[in-house]
Amino acid sequence: MLQTVDRIAVSGSDASIFDHGRKWNGKGISCRAYAARWGKKLISTNMAAIPRDTAESELFGHVKRRVYGAYADKPGLIEQAHNGIFFLDELGECSLPIQAKLLRAVEEHEIKRVGGVLPKKISVQFVAATNRNLQLMVEQGEFRLDLLQRLNLFTLHLPPLRERPEDIQYYATLFLEEKSKKDPFSIKASGIDALMSYPWSGNVRELHNLSKDWSCFLIEEYWMLKRFKNFCLLRF
């Protein structure tokens, strides 16, 4: 994954990226890594977590008094990502009307707030991710073929974590740095070996949950490794 991210970042391409794979395989983390390597801000959202009746306002913003309870203008998430990257997870959950507006944003680089009159130009790189079969959804009339083709300019497929052990150290280090900023520590070779020998049936989320457990202790590596071995025994 990291090699693929590096290739995109070095190329300087602003092409849309389509990221697919199983749940919890690190799609969001890979996007964060990409944004960090390119030095751009990242705005992200998960369509499965946004109610359909508010999705348009959340993504594209609204003009005051044009949406119930809106007493001020509000920029949408895509507008907030101007000059940066917008990561849209669970793309397959978008309704057809939302897909139409997304297509305009991706193709024409402009959006229009709910209740607005004039479109607003944006400079945003779109990264979309899903674990659903969008080609099948296209055949069933549930997803727009033109949007899929436009987003799918660069495909990043992330296999399960156990099939890319070279990423384990990166993820583990990243999670531990996030959770132990006041008292950081590193993982030595013996700890990495233990991590890489584990099958990670829960993918990156399982590793992330384990890092929360580690960061509560912030003690010598011996105890961290011992705790991990006990964790493995419980999981098998």
pLDDT by position in tens, the chain (length 236): 555 555 555 555 555 666 666 666 677 777 777 787 778 899 999 999 999 989 999 999 998 876 667 778 899 999 999 999 999 989 999 999 999 999 999 999 999 999 888 999 999 989 888 888 888 999 999 999 999 988 876 676 777 888 888 888 888 877 777 766 655 556 667 777 778 888 888 888 888 877 776 654 444 454 455 556 555 544 43
Amino acid at 2: L
Domains within the chain, CATH numbers bracketed: 2-158 (3.40.50.300), 162-235 (1.10.8.60)
Characterize the bridge pairing of strands 110-111 and 120-121: antiparallel
Distance CA(213)–CA(223), nearest Å, equals: 12
Identify the pLDDT of residue 181: 61
Distance CA(152)–CA(78), nearest Å, equals: 18
- CA distances for 142 relative to 21, 59, 98, 168, angstroms: 19, 20, 12, 36
Identify the pLDDT of residue 211: 74
Identify the pLDDT of residue 120: 94
Identify the pLDDT of residue 112: 94
| Helix, coil or strand: residue 70 | coil
Which are the contacts of 106, defined by CB distance < 8 A and separation ≥ 6?
16, 126, 147, 150, 151
Cα 7 to its chain centre, rounded Å, is 18
User: Which residue is listed with tokens 């004039």?
Assistant: 118
